[in-house]
Amino acid sequence: AQQIRLAVSIIGIMKMNISISNWTKSGSPWVWLNAGAVAISVIMVASLIGLIGVRGLAHFWPADVIQAKYSEKQNSRTIVGEVVQKEQVNASQLIDAGIEVAPGVESLERKLLKNGNRDSEGIDFTWVLSKNLSDIKTPAMLFTAERYEWGNLYGFLRSLKQEQKVLAQYAGYEKNDEYMALWSLLNKSMLRAQDIKAQIHDIEKNQIGKINHALERLRLKERRMALDLNSDADETAEIELRRVQLAKEYKVLEDKLVNLYGKINRDSIEVEISNGSVITVPIANLVRIFRANDMSIWDKSLHYLAKVWEFVSEDPREANTEGGIFPAIFGTVMMVILMSIMVTPFGVVAAVYLSEYAKQGFLTRLIRIAVNNLAGVPSIVYGVFGLGFFVYFLGGSIDQLFYPEALPSPTFGTGGLLWASITLALLTVPVVIVATEEGLSRIPSALKEGSLALGATKFETLYKVVLPMTSPAMMTGVILAIARAAGEVAPLMLVGVVKLAPTLPLNMNYPYLHLDQKIMHLGFHIYDAGSQSPNVEAARPLVYATAFLLIIVIALLNLSAVAIRNKLREKYKALEV
């Protein structure tokens, strides 16, 4: 019986080995292995994007503001602020820092508090030990004010003044009708100040900017006449007449600005801050004011949406640690669009020549090897080449030939949108060439020969048969080019991207699209806010938010290209290209 059982076991093992061997030979294990690797990669990418999104977008939620007593080394003081971060610190680190720790305690919790009021208290972020906090409260009257300068202000509203005359005041700490009347007057004053500030912004940035642009064009025209030794009296008189008209328009706008600045500085508030002192703050310096502790979930949600919209639609402020990043979004998208317009025809023409016209020999193989190697060249090398060739040589030559009246101030002889786009096009053209060549190699020879047999020329065959069928492959190359170019930073720092660009390269001033103008870029904004900001703690959440937005922008650009490719692929689906 034992021998029979042993034989049955051996037979079972042999069958199992045969089954495993057949399963392995079928390729199923490798399918499952690849599927598992793809699933792990997707989970890791989704987790990373989720982490970036949560850490970035959570910054815009109006957090509760605490008021507490903080005792340290026989000293006690009142602190006010938002809890930004919590972490556990080893007792040994605290002892090394000179902080007393009870025996047997291995770690203590500390909190990063955003206490604002940087103009009055020196710093707006501080670490505090949780064990030293006591009497923690979230008063409903404690408000948060976002300012154009000096960061957030936290305190209790005490009075509203109009030209040093007190309109309303309140000295208590409990919300009542008297306080709400004061708060209502403050909101009306805030709306008035914001309306005046919008008028000032329109005059300074749009109307006066347009006049200054026209004056500069007149100056350049006059200098060009002098360089050409053109002394036409009529044209000179016309320039002078136009200059006088612009000067009159400027004077009218200047008077309006003086009047508006006088009005906007009329109102101010008195605020009691955490150290008990009362400070005066002009309402014109405030972006918004709210009581986070007294807001409902609905109010906080509306506030959150308003902050997110401000982030994507406004200009930055406070050294890129506050405000929005719209100029960086616009600059990134504009540069990628121009890059795509430039790289597509050059990449396609090069691929068509190498595949269809060039003699397939040693030289052609050498060119293909060079193209493939170009895809692996570090991007900073392209930046140095762009700076030396495009900016200094080509741009300097353009200035000498077409803009001598502007010299010694460079027009195209300095970094700008055009040179940044061309540098990125040069960086990504190998990708488009390789993808297009792959598509051309998949065209059945019978189609080409059939077209030629029907009397079409080689160019007609290429234009009407080959290129339409290769268009999905071309779009694949453009998609890969966009994915790489949109996230590049190193070369752009040399050829036209700056920390802060005062105006957009697309506006209502002739020639409307200013290719010589410097731009902002999301990637460079992340670098600048993350490593060059004077206030690291304030910039950190914006780094996450900007990185998340850059991912979204790249995804939208790629999805647009993918949609075009899918339409082309569906159109030529019957030909299996």
CA–CA dist 464, 467 (Å, integer): 7
Kindly report, residue by residue over 103-157, the tens digit of the pLDDT.
Answer: 777 788 888 888 888 888 878 888 888 888 888 889 989 999 999 888 889 999 9
Output the CA–CA distances (angstroms, integers) from residue 29 to 15, 22, 384, in the order listed: 18, 11, 48
The SS3 assignment for 273 reads: coil
Contacts of 543 (CB under 8 A, 6+ apart): 56, 526, 529, 530
CA angle centred on 350, ends 345 and 356, rounded to 5°: 115
Percent of the chain clearing pLDDT 90 (strictly above): 33
Average confidence (pLDDT) over 478-507? 87
pLDDT in the model for residue 46: 92
Return the closest-CA partner of residue 61 out of 287, 291, 289, 292: 292
User: What is the reported pLDDT for 339?
Assistant: 92
Alpha-carbon Rg for the chain, nearest whole angstrom, is: 33
pLDDT digits (tens, 9 = 90+) for 157-198: 999 998 888 888 888 888 888 888 999 999 999 999 999 999
Bridge partner residues of 278 (DSSP): 272
pTM of the model: 0.87
Per-residue model confidence (pLDDT) at position 25: 67
Q: Which SS3 state, helix, strand or coil, does residue 166 take?
A: strand
Per-residue pLDDT at 393? 93
Residue 424: its pLDDT value, please? 93
Phi-psi region of 342 (alpha: psi -120 to 50; beta: other; left: phi over 0): alpha
Strands 133-137 and 316-317, by their bridges, are: unpaired
Whether residue 151 contacts residue 124, with contact meaning beta carbons closer than 8 Å, is answered with: yes
Asked if 68 contacts 133 with a C-beta cutoff of 8 angstroms, the reply is yes
User: What mean pLDDT is predicted for residues 68-72?
Assistant: 86
Other C-beta atoms lying within 10 Å of the C-beta of residue 250: 16
Q: What are phi and psi of 316, to 5 degrees?
A: -75, 160
550-555 contacts at long range (C-beta below 8 A, 24 or more positions apart): 550/332, 550/486, 550/487, 550/522, 550/523, 550/526, 551/49, 551/52, 553/329, 553/332, 553/333, 553/486, 553/522, 554/482, 554/483, 554/486, 554/487
CA distances from 325 to 272, 305, 499 (A): 33, 16, 11
Which 3 state secondary structure label does DSSP give 433? helix
Name the residue type at position 49. I
Residue 154's SS3 state is strand
How many degrees, rounded to 5, is the angle at CA 150 between CA 145 and CA 154? 35
Torsion of CA 228, 231, 233, 234, to 10 degrees: -20
Sequence-ordered list of residues with C-beta below 8 angstroms from that of 87, at least 6 positions apart, any chain = 109, 110, 112
Closest CA to 572 of 465, 474, 480, 476: 465
The CA-based angle 487-489-495, given to 5 degrees, is 125
C-beta of residue 321 within 8 angstroms of C-beta of residue 451: no
Task: Find residue 78's DSSP bridge partners.
Answer: 69
Give the type of residue at 264: I
β-partners of residue 287 are: none
pLDDT at position 297: 93
Beta strand residue intervals within 241-335, DSSP E: 267-272, 278-282, 286-290, 316-317, 322-323
Q: SS3 sequence, 201-252? A: HHHHHHHHHHHHHHHHHHHHHHHHHHHCCCCCHHHHHHHHHHHHHHHHHHHH
* Predicted pLDDT of residue 247: 93
Nearest to 492 by CA among 409, 547, 417, 388: 417
At 267-287, the pLDDT tens digits run: 999 999 888 889 999 999 999
Which amino acid makes up residue 33? Answer: L
pLDDT in tens, 363-411: 888 888 888 888 888 889 999 999 999 999 999 999 999 998 888 889 8
> Predicted confidence band at 577 (pLDDT cuts at 50, 70, 90)?
very low
pLDDT-above-70 percentage for the chain: 94
User: What digits encode the pLDDT tens for the residues 77-88?
Assistant: 888 989 888 888
- Residues 254 and 260: their CA atoms lie apart, in Å, by 10
Q: Is the C-alpha dihedral spanning 414, 416, 418, 424 positive or negative?
A: positive
Question: How would residue 330 be classed by pLDDT, with cut points 50, 70 and 90?
Answer: very high
Q: 528: which DSSP letter?
A: I
Length in residues, the chain: 577
> In the structure encoding, which two tokens stand for residue 533, read together?
């900001």
How many Cβ atoms sit within 10 Å of the Cβ of residue 470? 27
Closest by Cα among 431, 427, 399, 407 to 494: 427
